[in-house]
Structure 1
């Protein structure tokens, strides 16, 4: 197997049952999937589970990949849908906030502040909901350009700009409400 083959070529081959092509795709994109899952879930164990769930279903889903979009765009859509499905099916967990805070903060005071800020942000994004949540995760969490996020979400770049503006306004209003 050619290790320099394009993702699109590997995806088409993997969709036809080529295990080596699938292995190469999984290796190339595992870190990206995990990072997105971490940002969506906020906890290491949940992110690992979500990433594994995506990779487990990926061989069957590759059969529907037609190469009309870049593979990475198609994969982000798949991952966002899987994350949203998981989020809808699970109740919120306080442990995700504590795990995130412990991984990001060195001292107890910093951990508490980080946990509180993260918990507030996750609750605010839950309240705001999709599609603003998905837009924020891609643009702010994954450092995608508006054009890249627009491609993943199948909207125009102008819609991404509008959503981010709307997100800022809604977060500001929620912050004023919650800290009044």
Structure 2
């Protein structure tokens, strides 16, 4: 005896897991083919079909036997495909421009790294007293604090920084 799709859907509505599994087994390939035609992608069709099957137990309560199960199931699939497209379009609009932003951000990071690498190498060419003074001031230390640490006057810190700048400009 062959049980109709409609009878299986009604039994599944009442919580019959075997009826639900049989209905899915019977309709899965047909549902996948429709999803493939709706999405144009095997991967998207697989995802959409799985999403529909996962949501189907809750959606079965809306099946009222006013149409064939296949007709009802196709409506569920079309609605799910529309929902997916809307979400993708919304995501696309929201993420539009982020790729450019990220490329610009990476360019700034690379430029800053290039400058930092150049400064590290250039500082290695400075005399030790100028390099130590510059290192402290580059670390956001005031001239007065750098002078205290190095045991020199604040004016000497300013002079050393001036000499360091001259040296760095000459090798730039």
Report the TM-score when normalising by structure 1. Answer: 0.48
| Gaps in structure 1 of 5+ consecutive residues | 94-180
String of CA shifts for 1:69-120, please: whole Å, max 9, x gaps. 1111111111111111111111499xxxxxxxxxxxxxxxxxxxxxxxxxxx
Q: Distance in 1 between matches of 2:58 and 2:72?
A: 14
1:73 maps to 71
2:20 maps to 22
Q: Distance in 1 between matches of 2:63 and 2:39?
A: 26
Q: Distance in 1 between matches of 2:14 and 2:63?
A: 10
Higher relative contact order (CA 8 A, sep 6+): 1
What does 1:73-152 align with in structure 2 at a 5 Å threshold?
A: 73-91=71-89
1:37 maps to 35
CA contact (8 A) 1:15 1:64 kept: no
| Gaps in structure 2 of 5+ consecutive residues | 93-172
CA contact (8 A) 1:50 1:83 kept: yes
Deviation at 1:65, TM superposition (A): 1.2
Indicate the SS of the match to 1:90. Answer: helix
Q: Distance in 1 between matches of 2:48 and 2:19?
A: 22
Runs of 4+ displaced beyond 2 Å: none
1:55 to 36, 53, 56: 53
Deviation at 1:42, TM superposition (A): 1.1
1:172 maps to none
Q: Does 1:8 find its partner at 2:6?
A: yes
- Count matched residues: 91
Deviation at 1:16, TM superposition (A): 1.0
Deviation at 1:26, TM superposition (A): 0.4
Report the TM-score when normalising by structure 2. Answer: 0.50
The range that moved more, 72-81 or 60-69, is 60-69
